[in-house]
Structure 1
Amino acid sequence: MAKFDQIISHRFRGFAERESSLDGLKAALDFGVRQIEFDIRLTACGTPLVTHDEAARDKNGRWHKVCDIYARDLTSLGGDFAHMPMAESVFAAIAAHDNRACRILVDMKDAGFEEMLYALCAAYGLLNRAVWVSWLPEVLFALHDIDPGAHSCLSHWCQSPGVATRSIHKVFNAHLGHIERPVRRHVHGERSGWFVNGPLRGELRQIIDWVCVPANQINAALVDDYHLDGTRVSAFSYVTAAAIEQAETRFGHDAFFSDSRAPFESYR
C-alpha cells in the first residue's frame, strides 16, 4: 500500500485556485504534505519565476514567452503574469514554514542558470531538502559539476511520444539508453525532453538519484531495472488514491505526482 509521504504535490494543484501559486504552496505545507514540486523559468532579465509553461497570456489575452518579458513588467502585463511568484518568494515561504520535513523538487525548465538557482536555494538553507529535477540533461550535468552530492532527477519519456506531444515539444532521442553530455549549456524558453527507449544508461544514470516518467508509460520492468542500483522512480500524474494504489500494486514505483488534493486526504 502506498504511503502519505510517497505522494508529491504537483505544482500545488488542488490546494488553491491557481497552480504554482504562493497560496497553493502555503496550503500544501499547512496540510503537512511531505513532498512538493514546482517549476522555474527565467525572464529575459534572468529573474526566476515559478511557472510551468514557456508562455502565458497577458491581461488582453495576448501570449508572451516568459523568456522574452522583464520582471519589471509583470504587473503591467497582468493576466497570468500578475500571479507568477518569483522563485525567491517561494524559497522564502518554504524556509519560513514549520513543515520542515517537506522535500522540495525543483524542476528547472531552463539551462545555464544553475549556479544562480543553487545559490538561491542555499541562501534559504534548503539544499538538504532539494531534489533538482529537469527534462534537460544540461541542467543535471551542470548541477553535478557544482555539487556532486546534489540529489537530482531526470524526467523522460520511456515510450515514444505521440503526435500531440511532439507538436509542442522538441523531442531528442537517446542512443541505446545513453544521453551524452550535451555540447550546449544554455537553453532558454524551450519546451523539450528526451525519449529513452527503456531505462537510462551511462554517465547520466550514474549521477542521478531519481527518474520521473509519465504514468501512462511506466511498466514493472522499467521500475525493476532502475531499482537495481537504487534509482528511485516517480510518475506523473494521479488524481485519486485508487489510481495510486493500482499503480503501486502493478509497478511498485517510489513516488506519485498528484494533481489533486484528494489523494493526500485519503492517505492522511
Structure 2
Amino acid sequence: MRTIKTEEITEVVSQLCKEAAYYLPEDVYEALKKGRETEESPVGRDVLDQIIKNAEIAKAEDRPYCQDTGLTIVFVEVGQDVHIEGGLLEDAINAGVAKGYVEGYLRKSVVAEPLFNRVNTQNNTPAVIYTSLVEGDKIHITVAPKGFGSENKSGLEMLVPADGVEGVKAAVMRIIKHADCNPCPPTVIGIGIGGTMDKAAYMSKKALLHRCDEHNPDPQYAKLEQELFEMINKTGIGPQLGGTTTTLAVHVEWGATHIAGLPVAVTICCHACRHASRTI
C-alpha cells in the first residue's frame, strides 16, 4: 500500500489547470497546421493562420489560449493500492482547481446554483470529477477545461437498435448541423455510443482525450470515425467563416447497452481542445 498526501494532489491539479489553459496539446496544434495545408477557402486559411498564431503566443507567454477557461473537468484513475492521506480526494482536487485558477489568473466561470441565483463561486469550483478505480499504486489525473460555447451545442439522442449505423450517422449530423459555426470550429468531436443516457455522455467527453491522429482500435468504429470526419468536413461550416476544415478529428467510445437501446451522445469541443495529465 502506497500513501499519497492530499497536498500533493492539490498541487498537481493546480499546475495542470494552468498548463491546460496555456498550452494546446501538440497533436491538436499539428492537426490545425494540417488543416491549414488542406483548407480550400482563402478566408478559412486566414482564420486558421490566426488560430495557430494564437496558440503559439499563448504557449510562449503563458497566457490562456482562450478567454473561456472552462468548467474544469477532471478524470482521475486511482490505483487500488493507494491510500490517500489528509482528507477527501474530491476536496483535494477542488482545492487544486481553486489554487490554479486564482494563481494563474484564469477566468472563473462557475456559478454555484444553475437556475435562480447563479452566483459565481470566484474560484471555478466545484469541478466535474470522474473517478475510476484501477490496478496499481499510482493516481493518474487529467484536467480538461471545457468551454461552453461548444458545450452548449453538444447533444444526445436516444435511438433504437433498428436505427443502426445509418441512424447513428444521421443523429450525429443533426447535432453538428444544428451547432453550425457557433462552437468555434474547427472542432474536435467526441461521440459516445451505448450504455445509458448518462454513460453515453460520459464516454463522449472521455473520447475528447484521444490524440487527433489516433483511431479507434476496433476497425468498424475506426471506419465510422473516418466516415463521420468526411461527412462533417463536407458541410461547408469550415473554420468559423466557411471552408473545408470543420473538424480536426472524430473519436468514438462505445459500451454495452440494453437490448432496446442505442444512446448516442455528441460532445463538441472547439479548437481549444485542452487537457493536461500527470501521474503521481
Provide the TM-score with structure 1 as the length reference. 0.32
Q: Which has the larger radius of gyration?
A: 2
Indicate the structure with greater helix content: 2
